[in-house]
A and B are shown apart, each in its own frame.
Chain A
Amino acid sequence: MKSNLYLIIRREYLERVRRKSFIITTILMPILMLGLMAAPALAMILAGTESKSIAVVDYTEGIAPMLQNNDELVFRAVDKHIAIDSLKKSENYDAVIVIGEDAVDNPTNIQMYTHSAPSMMTESYIRDQMRYAIREIRIQRYDIDNLDQILAEIEPNVGMTTYRLDTEKEEETSSALSYFLGLAMMMTLYMFILIYGQMVMTSIIEEKNNRVLEVVVSSVKPRTLMLGKIVGIGLVAVTQIVIWGILIGAASFWGMPALASSVGTDGDADLLAMIAQFGDTGRILVYFGYILLFMIGGYMLYSSVYAAIGSAVDNVQDASQLSSIATVPIILGIVFSMVVAQDPTSNLAFWLGIIPLTSPMVMMARLPYGIPGWEIWLSIALLVVAFIFMVWLSAKIYRVGIFMYGKKPSLKDLARWATYK
């Protein structure tokens, strides 16, 4: 009956891979993601002309001229004799700043009135400008020659490079980059487990409603059908990941050197570091390998839970409550990953990375920081043990659940079905 498992897997796989939607998402998704990342930058360039004008009523008469405009904010000094209330009502100004007479000595005597809540960026920009202006005025009071030059000479420009000792060659790393890389990998994995896991569930519900299920199980064991479905849909996910891996690998191998040469050596240091990281094709492929391993493990674990739930219910609405059994740990995995990414070597990070329910997501967040190989393999091994157990348990529930119609089952029902002969 092994060949039947193959036939089921083949049917499930081909049915999905042949769909236009699969081909489109697989090709378009990476482009869309790049577009999404580039979109804020593009939006800024395109929408940069819209600036806010701020009326500055300056009783000190020294600060206002020193405030620097930027792309978004234009400071306009206003005659202090104009009534402030009329400024507040004026539609020409988005905000009004009132600088008290003693503001240089008492910098708390500054008020800003706005029509809508200012963004944090705006507020901190204005605060910086104020501090800078007041500092300049205070320094000028000392009346020292060449003070600007002296200060410039004193100001140190610190640039520290971090080297990792645990990898074979001492490579340069950036923890910020590791952080974002980890989160990106974790989100990818989360998406895959959730989307493909739920695909297993809805597909089983559909088969059940369709009643085609009884025809199939008169030829193959329910367990074979369930396993075939999980593996077939899983292979679709693997196909997608592999295609993306190849696309990104190619971009890294050919695209990044081209980008690096166009930026040149005197470009922005962060950008160059990023290009260097993404240009390391070997490392990217290793990461994709890990994504693949943890994706398979996490997917097998969660999709079998979804399969059991799908077998038990008659429609997707009934499933929503039960499926929180699977969804909650996945979301917890995400939440913990965020925490773990801040401190990837802590005890908490270690344990969450070992426990199968959270390990796929948490390990994604930890991997870019470099963690001992044995931890990775222990985590994978435990994940495999967990999913084998879960597939076995789910198959027992599935076998009974697929013939249950009409009643919305509880968790207790599922537990009882698992014990049936």
Chain B
Amino acid sequence: MNLLEATDIVKDYTGHRALDNVSIAVPQGKVYGLLGPNGAGKTTLIRIINHITAPDSGTVTFDGHKLVQDDVRHIGYLPEERGLYKKMKVGEQATFFARLKGLSSADAQRQLKEWFERLEISSWWDKKVEELSKGMAQKVQFVITVLHRPKLLIFDEPFSGFDPINAQVLKNEILRLRDEGATVIFSTHNMGSVEEICDNITLINKSKNILTGNVEEIRGRYGKDKYLLTYTGEHAALASALQGSCASIESRPDDKLGRHVAEIQLVDSEARRPAIAQANSAVDVYAFQPLLMSMNDIFIKAVEEANETVPPEYIKQ
């Protein structure tokens, strides 16, 4: 069952279309990745889901009904640009935000104390936010985001600004919340940072949805019948030996030992065994293994398939 469905969302700003018929369906209790370069339209989509702005057309359903203002009480949102009231004390501020989400003052304080103890930040309660470091303030903001036990958690660039240790702490907390039943949306331009924890993803580029689906399924699809062959010998000999069983083959030097790595696309999965034998007869094979594509590579592929230019920051040097 899907907790959230956004269908055919269109949002225009003067002179440019921020979202062009984008649809996503977020299954209950899963982690969903909203991936794409900066400026692709991710934040606009999140604002629509948060009921902050309205789409020009398209519908959003939450928990089976059309999204209404009251639903934001069941959403926790950590915006990309973090911010708190600087002059307000940490405890007071966290209570204020929790009450905006519908918690009673007593409930909010009790749960805050729990969270503060778990994250070992209890001593900050009476400090003003301006006295905290940036990382400390982010931790407070994380607690504020999740405190009201929302059904849907939305994190925009969640790990930017955290040191690796704290990023791991947060990652574990988020996964714990998921295990307790929360649904999570990660929005990020950094494909690598979330790929191992997302169950489903949507890739957005230039306001358009270019790829949606289950991560394993997408990986399988993009890596289908793709193998890496490590060898010593002549590329030409290998290529001619594999003719018939492989659709494409590209070689590049691998290491100082003079080995090469060939990226092979087989014609179908039946061709694997004959291909191994053919390669073995033509060159000296060290390894033959399935090619696992990173989310970054998949993004590049998907962008190319959509006949768009790949944003330069995603092309590996």
Contact = CB atoms under 8 A, between A and B. Distances in A.
A172 interface: no
Contacts of A167: none
Contacts of A213: 83
Contact of A215 (B75, B88, B141): B141
B71 to A, nearest CB: 11
Interface string B83-97: 111111000000011
B79 interface: yes
Contacts of B69: 1, 221
A171 interface: no
Interface string A212-242: 1111111111100000000000000000000
A210 B83 contact: yes
Interface in B94-139: 96-97, 99-101
3 closest cross-chain pairs (CB), A and B: A211-B83, A212-B83, A211-B81
Contacts of B86: 210
Contacts of B47: 403
Contacts of B87: 15
B155 interface: no
A421 B57 CA distance: 11
A11 interface: yes
B79 A215 contact: yes
A7 B86 CA distance: 18
B53 A403 contact: yes
Given A1-B69, A15-B88, A421-B54, A216 B100 contact: yes
A403 B96 CA distance: 23
Given A7-B96, A211-B79, A216-B100, A421 B56 contact: yes
A219 B72 contact: yes
A233 to B, nearest CB: 15
B176 interface: no
Interface string B43-57: 000010010111010
Nearest to B76: A218
A416 interface: yes
B145 to A, nearest CB: 8
A4 interface: yes
Please indicate which of the listed interface residues A1, A7, A210, A219 has the most CB atoms of chain B within 10 Å of its own CB: A219
Contact of B96 (A11, A211, A217, A221): A11
Interface in B34-74: 47, 50, 52-54, 56, 69-70, 72-73
Interface in B248-284: none
Interface in A340-374: none
B236 to A, nearest CB: 55
A113 B221 CA distance: 103
Contact of B83 (A4, A11, A214, A421): A214
Nearest to A222: B52
Interface residues of A, number: 23
Interface of B: 14, 47, 50, 52-54, 56, 69-70, 72-73, 75, 77, 79, 81-88, 96-97, 99-101, 141, 144
A8 B100 CA distance: 8
Given A7-B96, A7-B99, A218 B52 contact: yes
Contacts, number: 59
Contacts of A1: 69-70
Contact of A416 (B14, B53, B70): B14
Contacts of A399: 53
A218 B50 contact: yes
Interface of A: 1, 4, 7-8, 11, 15, 210-222, 399, 403, 416, 421
Contacts of A219: 72-73, 97, 100-101
Contacts of A210: 83-86
Contacts of A15: 85, 87-88
B85 A212 contact: yes
A211 B84 CA distance: 7
Contacts of A4: 100
Nearest to B56: A421
Nearest to B79: A214
A7 B101 CA distance: 11
Nearest to B50: A218
Given A214-B83, A215-B144, 14 more contacts: A4-B100, A11-B88, A210-B83, A211-B79, A212-B84, A214-B79, A215-B79, A215-B83, A217-B52, A218-B52, A218-B79, A219-B73, A219-B100, A403-B47
Given A403-B53, A421-B54, A214 B100 contact: no
B54 A215 contact: no
A15 B75 CA distance: 27
A7 B81 contact: no
B84 A215 contact: yes
A219 B86 CA distance: 19
A301 B88 CA distance: 29
Please indicate which of the listed interface residues A1, A215, A218, A220 has the most CB atoms of chain B within 10 Å of its own CB: A218
A301 to B, nearest CB: 27
Contacts of A218: 50, 52, 72, 75, 77, 79
Nearest to B87: A15
Contacts of A7: 96, 99-100
A218 to B, nearest CB: 4
24 contacts: A1-B70, A7-B99, A7-B100, A11-B88, A11-B96, A15-B87, A210-B83, A210-B86, A211-B79, A211-B81, A212-B85, A214-B52, A214-B79, A214-B83, A217-B50, A218-B75, A218-B79, A219-B72, A219-B97, A219-B100, A403-B47, A403-B53, A421-B54, A421-B56
A162 B77 CA distance: 69
Contacts of A222: 52
A196 to B, nearest CB: 18
Nearest to A19: B87
Nearest to B100: A219
B95 to A, nearest CB: 10
Please indicate which of the listed interface residues A7, A215, A216 has the most CB atoms of chain B within 10 Å of its own CB: A215
B100 A220 contact: yes
Contacts of A220: 100
Nearest to A211: B83
B99 to A, nearest CB: 6
A294 B303 CA distance: 61
B76 to A, nearest CB: 8
A416 to B, nearest CB: 7
Contact of B97 (A214, A215, A221): A215
